[in-house]
Amino acid sequence: MTKQEVVDFLSDGFTLANLPDSFIHLRRIANDPHSDIEDVVAVARKDPELAASLLRLANSSVYNNGESVGSIEEAAQLLGMRTVVQCSLALGILKKVTVPDGSFDLQSFWRRSLTVATLAEAVYEHAPKLIKTIVDPKLLYTAGLLHDIGLLAMIQGFRDEMVRVIDRAISSETPIHLVEEEAFGFSHQDTGRILFKKWNLPEELQCVAGYHHHPLGLKRRLYYPLVDIVYVADYICCAGGPEMPAAFRPALLEDVWNRSRLDVNLIGTFSGELDQASDSAEAILSC
């Protein structure tokens, strides 16, 4: 696999070579302070698959205490604007991606990405004022959800090479991005960054894709707080969630925590938020 082969694959081979229309509309709605829940309902009405998923979500035990919800309008009212937008963004993306059979546990991948997306917002709430003034909170969910998308793209396009890399990373207990760099000269961070750029996502998000395994490598002061928050959210997700191979666990980078003025010893205080984020991820995955 060469970088050029990956770039070519991202141009038209990857199922998310172009973002779904609903994703683009919803991002626009989320960024527009004048938008309201009716705008979201209008997007869902044009996308039957999304509408059906939102109905299932509104009827799931995480969001519903027993009253049956039958229309997309009722579902939107029950879930609220923020949840509808975020879940719709996630559903629009994760329904589109497939990987070759047996090559990768896609459910676990999305469970983690969805959990990190919600946790990133919780970490932001605990962040000091200075960090909050720099980070655009509207980017947090997308940043957490898609930070590892480069990994999926590489698995979809270059299955055999990636299966070998994953096996080697797991057996040697080496972080996957390091094994990728050794094998190909680049990692899924570069792939994600290229993809985010192609999608015209903001530069802060491109930095999240490109630096989430080594946030200290990013020196742009305006952009590293978002990268740090996603890194911290990913760390909390892996530290408090089910045991996973060392190859997929973020390294403990105390300098990143310190730079964000967050205390690594406070991981335990996020346990409630982690449980909520996991429940929400499960609800979305079951839609």
Closer residue to Fe ion (CB): 69 or 281: 281
From the CB of 68, what's the least distance to Fe ion, in Å?
40
Residue nearest to Fe ion (CB): 148
* Residue 47 lies near Fe ion (rule: CB under 5 A): no
**Cβ closer to Fe ion: 121 or 148?**
148
How many whole angstroms separate alpha carbon 130 and alpha carbon 195?
Answer: 30
- Least distance (Å) between residue 190 CB and Fe ion: 11
| Dist CA 240 CA 267 (whole Å) | 8
Q: How far is the CB of 212 from Fe ion (least distance, A)?
A: 5
Count how many residues are written for the chain.
Answer: 287
Give the type of residue at 12. Answer: D
From residue 143 to residue 182, the character string flagging contacts with Fe ion as x (rule: CB under 5 A) and all else as - is: -----x----------------------------------
In terms of CB distance, is 54 or 233 closer to Fe ion?
A: 233
For residues 76 and 250, which CB has a smaller minimum distance to Fe ion in the complex? 250
# of chain residues touching Fe ion (CB under 5 A): 1
Please spell the DSSP secondary structure of 136-198, one letter per residue: -GGGHHHHHHHTTHHHHHHHHH-HHHHHHHHHHHHHHT--HHHHHHHHHSS-HHHHHHHHHHH
Give the integer Cα–Cα distance in Å for 231 and 229.
5
CA distance 262 to 122: 12
Return d(Cα 120, Cα 131) in angstroms, integer.
13
3-state secondary structure 94-122: HCCCCCCCCCCCHHHHHHHHHHHHHHHHH
Measured from the CB atom, the residue of 85 and 210 that comes closer to Fe ion is 210
Residue 78 or 244 with smaller CB distance to Fe ion: 244
Per-position x/- string for 57-96, each x denoting binding to Fe ion as judged by CB under 5 A, each - no binding: ----------------------------------------
Minimum gap (Å) between residue 188 Cβ and Fe ion:
6
User: Minimum Å distance from CB 59 to Fe ion?
Assistant: 33
Site residues for Fe ion, 90-149, by CB under 5 A, read 148
Please state whether 106 falls in left (phi above 0), alpha (psi between -120 and 50) or beta. Answer: alpha
**Least CB distance from residue 192 to Fe ion, whole Å?**
8
Q: Which is nearer to Fe ion, 44 or 152 (CB)?
A: 152
**Which chain residues interact with Fe ion by CB under 5 A?**
148
